[in-house]
Amino acid sequence: MLLVIDSANIESIQDLAECFPVDGVTTNPAIITKEKKPFLPLLKEIQSIIGKERMLFVQVLQEYAEEMVKEAVYLKEEIGGNLYIKIPVTAEGIKAIKQLKQQGIRTLATAIYTPMQALVAAKAGADFVAPYVNRIDNLAGDGVQVVRDIVEAFDRCQLPCQVLAASFKNTQQVHGVGLAGVHGVTAGPKILKSLVEHPVTESNVKQFVEDWKLFYGEACDSVIHTQ
């Protein structure tokens, strides 16, 4: 399962990229504006941290297909690397996805709320679709079930598009989409870090060290340095 950072904060990305087996970074206009930095330099700085091999997702701002395509081509030329263009699943967005597919520019269809939106985007040529798990839950839906339905539909139709679930409030939602067969998740730094956090694990580690000290009377690092 792909693990993608949903952030444009340089410090958070640097920290997670050093510790976690992350596969890339997703951004959107709201995330970008929070950083209060020039747009392209910020994206290039993110790419310099994760490297050009890892995926970088950048969303277009235009409303109409022709302008979306122009913006996507510009971003590809300016940023390069393993870039994916995020396109909303409006009618104009689907049109843009079809055109970008013909030009060899990879896309992620974003703001997915239903399996049919995902299916149409995949048939149009999207490489990824991003269902909004927690936002679906907030609308009295079942975000995990929507992800499951999308994964099953893609399998039945033999579509190569991958499901990159987004919008998480807690680790249980991430666990749920993982069991549903999702291809990847993109989540904020706090959620990603919490995937490996557990109070019992921390207490176990402390107990191991205390047991060692009680018997040997020294910490592990002292033993390593004296060998």
86 is catalytic: yes
Query: 218 CB contacts (<8 Å, ≥6 apart)?
Result: none
Active-site pick, 86, 95, 190, 213: 86
Residue 163 β-bridge partners: 129
Q: In angstroms, how far is CA 114 from the centroid of its own chain?
A: 19
Beta bridge partners of 58: 85
Contact 13, 49 (CB under 8 A): yes
Q: At what angle do helices 143-157 and 171-179 cross, to 10 degrees?
A: 20
C-alpha distance from residue 121 to each of 6, 57, 71, 217, 225 (Å): 21, 17, 19, 63, 57
Q: Which amino acid is at 135?
A: R
**Residues with catalytic annotation?**
86
